[in-house]
Chains A and B, each alone.
Chain A
């Protein structure tokens, strides 16, 4: 058997899995997005029509879709940097030689990641409560008027972002912490001997050494944040004034509330292309930056 055939045998199982569970559903979703599948079609398949790109064209004319896209971008643009900064910050603190009880803190900070989203969302709803919430209590101690976190269209998204960052930062923190621990101590020693300050060492040793990890972490986080759904579903149901409707939430309503599975598939496809393009850019940059 040639080396080529052997290689195919090795990657074969993985390719089959990818084809069955990824490429096939993708093609099916694309096919569905070119039809007007709805409850009438569910009743009788002869009521199904091929409509070409009409779902896509209508989508572009739907104000709520653009609104949802704007909300999602807001969530990604604010949430992702905040989340990564938080992860990096806590990872640095945990890595610091001054830190005590590292194991305890590492577990405590990682805990939100493994909790059930719905359960903690309910708890956060209490924390965000306008009149009895802990957050407003803290704010009132420093003389800030109560904020209607989940009822005010301007505050609902920041509230969701705070919750999402809290829920997710622990995961990246662990990855970055592992990255920090693998940076050779000699590099810092050498830098110290050259008289580099802490800030300089962070900027010129830590960050460059972490950059492959940071790229990976940001790609994963961007992809994850684009799929924001459960947070608004549990906490605000897309309100107030549709200020927390995300693309995925919009798709869910289109598909499972109105049962327009054709146009819901179109939404899914647009989102897929969007995430694909957005994450392809840093991937490109990273690949060019790598040696070889």
Chain B
């Protein structure tokens, strides 16, 4: 899918050389069409053998019983070592205690920040707790004036808010994913912190589409903090002028009382139950899971590997911008593992957009989210009451 779909063709010839008799046909599909393509393929009995699957989609495909459970294969594998993988990422592949995929690359959200602007506001180090973060935001806003901002939190992305919400003790859904838990103290605290950033003018109420070029604007100091993912390491390296390369850095996401968790995202490799070439398909997954291959994959795409040993060598070990990700990956948590999650996350986005625009208060928004989530989860409750989703 996307860039990975293009790059995989460079890694496949070696696999075919090592496994004579196995020929791999890679089919590339754009991310925007991937989800519906795969569901249609499932409905039409035309699923591939192996596939890259966004790890938030795994619960859905697990509910469809489309995926081959991998516990036995992993237990017998000399390549795939669960203990070598970051815990939070590994966890996303386990649905109701059954392993459905092997992490391929990871994605999480943390802070990109302008060192120089932060230093100018009197902060030598990036914030580690929400209190420090708040003070830094206020100080930066103070120095940059009314036309510029302290932070960019694009309103079309739910990930930053969800990442902050995952830092709280309360889960986002309660009772085994039967009900929304958005009126919990923790979520409302997160929502208040998030919306106050806008109410105090620290962040502009914009979507990514409103900002024609987020990288240029970061370079110009339109905002000093940006909560974003690993792909932006490459983008900032490429797009910011050389004299600005010292001016930016990454930092783990601040938490309520010290370094906090972030969202465990990324893609996994899965084996489809309907596959007729499961042995060869599993060999391909093992091949792509080797630390050395993952390092090559990182060099080609910039995607971050999910295995600690892959981080120990290669270009990643010396990448200063990637260090914060390495630290953050030890503290990532999966989003709720229910098939309905993506739809609920979409509701979180539209409700917080209204919250930021002032149409709703924090308590109202939390209540509204519970109403919407409960409605979406109605079918799940019914299924569980009948004796389980699977």
Q: A36-B379, A43-B63, A43-B65 are in contact. Are A130 and B35 (CB under 8 A)?
A: no
- By a CB distance below 8 angstroms, the chain B residues around A151 are 209-210
Contact partner of A239 among B60, B209, B339, CB < 8 A? B209
CB of A266, distance to nearest CB on chain B (Å): 15
Asked if A49 lies at the interface with its beta carbon under 8 angstroms from chain B, I say yes
Please provide the chain B residues from 61 to 86 with a CB less than 8 Å away from any CB of chain A in the complex: 63-66
Cβ of A157 to closest chain B Cβ, rounded Å: 15
Q: How far is the CA of A144 from the CA of B282 in the complex (A)?
A: 61
CB A263 to nearest CB in B, in angstroms, measures: 11
Q: Which of chain B's residues 43-65 have a Cβ closer than 8 Å to chain A?
A: 43, 60, 63-65
Q: Which chain A residue has the least Cβ–Cβ distance from B382? A: A49
Does B244 interact with chain A (Cβ within 8 Å)? no
How far does the Cβ of A167 sit from chain B's closest Cβ, in whole Å?
A: 22
- Residues of chain B lying within 8 A (CB to CB) of residue A40: 63, 339, 379, 383, 389
Quick check: is A259 within 8 A (CB to CB) of the other chain? yes
CA distance A43 to B210 in the complex (A): 40
Asked if residues A47 and B210 are in contact (CB atoms below 8 Å), the reply is no
Q: Among B43, B209, B353, which residue has its beta carbon within 8 angstroms of that of A42? A: B43
Minimal beta-carbon separation of B287 from chain A (angstroms): 30
Contact string against A for B residues 247-282, beta-carbon threshold 8 Å, 1 for contact and 0 otherwise = 000000000000000000000000000000000000
Chain B minimum-CB-distance residue to A150: B209
A216 to chain B, nearest CB (A): 36
0/1 interface trace, chain B 357-375, chain A, CB 8 Å (1 if under): 0000000000000000001
Nearest B residue to A49 via CB reads: B382
Q: Measured between alpha carbons, how far is A58 from B156 in the docked complex, in Å?
A: 25
Q: Does A131 interact with chain B (Cβ within 8 Å)? A: yes
- A256 within 8 A of partner (CB): yes
Taking each of B60, B156, B343, B379, which has the highest tally of chain A beta carbons within 10 Å of its own beta carbon? Answer: B379
- Report the minimal beta-carbon distance from B290 to chain A, rounded to whole angstroms: 33
Interface membership of B133, Cβ < 8 A: no
Known: A36-B379, A257-B36, A259-B39. A43 touches B64 (CB 8 A): yes
Per the 8 Å Cβ criterion, residues 6-61 of B in contact with A are 35-36, 39-40, 42-43, 60
User: Do B64 and A47 touch (CB < 8 A)?
Assistant: no
CB < 8 Å neighbour of B60 from A36, A39, A131: A39
Total interface residues on B, CB under 8 Å, equals 24
A70 lies within 8 A of chain B by Cβ? no
Q: Which chain A positions have C-beta within 8 A of B43?
A: 42
Contact between B212 and A130, CB atoms less than 8 A apart: yes
Task: Tell me which residues across on chain B come within 8 A of A9, comparing CB atoms.
Answer: none
Most-contacted residue by chain B among A131, A239, A241 (CB, 10 A): A241
B207 at the interface (CB under 8 A from A): yes
| Interface residues as binary, A31-68 with B (CB distance below 8 Å gives 1, 0 otherwise) | 00000101110111001010000000010000000000
- Minimal beta-carbon separation of B31 from chain A (angstroms): 13
- B35/A39 in contact, CB under 8 A: no
A151 to B40: give the CA distance in the assembly, Å: 31
B63 and A39 contacting across the interface, CB-CB below 8 Å:
yes
C-alpha spacing A58/B375, complex, angstroms: 10
A240 part of interface (Cβ distance < 8 Å): yes
The minimal Cβ–Cβ distance linking A288 to chain B, given in whole angstroms, is 46
CB neighbours (8 Å) of B65 from chain A are 43-44
CB distance from B358 to the nearest CB of A (A): 15
Q: Are A131 and B379 in contact (CB-based, < 8 A)?
A: no
Inter-subunit contact A257/B35 (CB<8 Å): yes
A38 with B343, Cβ < 8 A, contacts A43-B65, A257-B35 known: no
B212 and A240 within 8 A (CB): no
Q: Name the interface residues of A110-132: CB closer than 8 Å to any CB of B.
A: 130-131
Q: Is the CB of A258 within 8 A of B343?
A: yes
Q: Which residues of B contact A240 (CB under 8 A)?
A: 207, 209-210
> Are B36 and A256 in contact, with the CB atoms below 8 A?
yes
B188-224 with Cβ < 8 A to chain A: 207, 209-210, 212
Whole-angstrom distance between the Cβ of B102 and the nearest chain A Cβ: 22
Query: Shortest Cβ distance from A155 into chain B, in angstroms?
Result: 13
Tell me which residues across on chain B come within 8 A of A49, comparing CB atoms: 382
B-facing mask of A231-242, CB < 8 A → 1, else 0?
000000001110
B382: chain A residues within 8 A (beta carbon):
49
Across the interface, which residues of B come within 8 angstroms of A44, CB to CB?
65
Chain A's closest residue to B357 (CB) is: A241
Closest to B340 in A: A258
Closest to B37 in A: A256
CA of A39 to CA of B376 in the docked complex: distance in angstroms?
13
Assembled-state Cα–Cα distance A178/B210 (Å): 46
| Bound complex: CA A49 to CA B207 (Å) | 39
Pick the 10 closest A-B CB pairs, nearest first: A43-B64, A256-B36, A151-B209, A258-B343, A43-B65, A240-B209, A259-B39, A39-B64, A43-B63, A42-B43
Give residues in B with beta carbon < 8 Å to A.
35-36, 39-40, 42-43, 60, 63-66, 156, 207, 209-210, 212, 339, 343, 353, 375, 379, 382-383, 389
Besides A39-B39, A256-B39, 10 more A-B contacts (Cβ < 8 Å) are A36-B379, A39-B64, A42-B39, A42-B42, A42-B43, A43-B64, A239-B156, A256-B36, A256-B40, A257-B35
